[in-house]
Structure 1
């Protein structure tokens, strides 16, 4: 089931809601500059095991509206709260990948973990995101040759081999975003930090991170594990930045075990 949820005047988010009758709910937040479709290999499986799976395209990405403003972690977290309120969600597991992990952490801090029973962080861009050097390179590409930027993202994302067909599919996911939202998130990842937020995460937290991640170093997952109480870190030894795809069977099983 797909529909749009209004999060503020003139801005609607695209929401995919699979198996609304499921007994346990999982809300997925994608990474930059992709969409909820990056979790295809979770949505193919988990709803048929009784889980309600909700994928949200952030503003500016996927099929959501693409306003020129609102790309701070605060606003993005508020957008998620608006969806949670609209769908009357409670006792759900919040899963965030990369920048989606940063948004999830800000949601936990800013909205006092509202409705969330468990948190899963996948190669989260936290407590920091891009270095000034990386941000400058991506920003220059985003503003002048966005397909080149997306090709670099694709090339650095995976540790395991991907086919040319899969690469093209992944590449096109990133180009669904607007150029201005793609650029705005680069600046947010450069300028915002989440150190203060980590102390406000109190629910059981699973940290998943590919040891070969070239985008967000594995050391950042170790730091999250140290700073977030009641957290556990599970390294994925055959993954880069996308363990939900590269080791999807292991990831899906781990997620099910963690949710219980």
Structure 2
């Protein structure tokens, strides 16, 4: 079922809540510029393992409200905390993909891992998002002047494995659900912010999943994250780019189930 949670004055986030009676809860944070729908192939399977799966659309993306302000790691992490408080979640697994991984890391550091038993980082944009500032500025210019072209190029570089034209079109449309201003603001955030200081503050068991062919966030960054988070394990996905949650979805779902059960 889907519903809205108020996280700030005039800002409501959309929450997709699947199998509310599940024995354990997994909270999914999507990547930029997507929505909770990117995890369709987790939501199809994991509830059958007994899990409650919650997908949260950040402010500015998917079905959530799209205010003009509030696109910093601190604010986005605080939004997640507000959802956790309203839903009264405890002992849950927090899983973040790409920029959602950076938000998850900031949540862990800023809110002292509140309620989280396990952390899962999926092709996370960490310790930095866009290390190449010139490339980030080019993306920012595209976001402000030809956002559909930007989204098409993101789709073309996202995956290592072949995707069909219908899947490509679907993925493309997920990105276009976002507001133009929020799409651009996250590029600025990924260019100017990082989570270096957050990583040593994480102590819960952490699973790091990263495609070795990732052209968005290099695999070497996952190795660095693995070194800086104690009690973490890195699992390379040999046949994935930036979309390991889909490209090797059966392996990913089984690995996640083994990690948290």
**TM-score bucket of the superposed structures, by smaller chain:** over 0.9
Could you say which residue in structure 1 is the equivalent of 2:52? Answer: 52
Inter-partner Cα distance in structure 2 for 1:166 and 1:2 = 23
User: How does the TM-score come out when normalised to structure 1?
Assistant: 1.00
Asked if 1:28 is matched to 2:35, the reply is no
Inter-partner Cα distance in structure 2 for 1:215 and 1:98 = 9
The offset of 1:213, in angstroms, is: 0.2
Question: Structure 1: which 5+ runs fail to align?
Answer: none
Asked if 1:237 is matched to 2:238, the reply is yes
The offset of 1:193, in angstroms, is: 1.1
Could you say which residue in structure 1 is the equivalent of 2:228? Answer: 227
Cα deviation 1:27-52 (Å, max 9, x = unaligned): 00000000000000000011122100
Matches within 5 A, 1:56-205: 56-130=56-130, 131-205=132-206
Inter-partner Cα distance in structure 2 for 1:54 and 1:178 = 22
Inter-partner Cα distance in structure 2 for 1:173 and 1:83 = 22
The offset of 1:143, in angstroms, is: 0.5
SS, match of residue 128 in structure 1: coil
SS, match of residue 195 in structure 1: coil
User: How does the TM-score come out when normalised to structure 2?
Assistant: 0.99
Cα deviation 1:189-241 (Å, max 9, x = unaligned): 00001110001001000000000000000000000000000000000000000
CA-based RMSD: 0.4
Inter-partner Cα distance in structure 2 for 1:12 and 1:48 = 29
Question: Structure 2: which 5+ runs fail to align?
Answer: none
Inter-partner Cα distance in structure 1 for 2:65 and 2:45 = 28
SS, match of residue 241 in structure 1: coil
Inter-partner Cα distance in structure 2 for 1:28 and 1:17 = 10
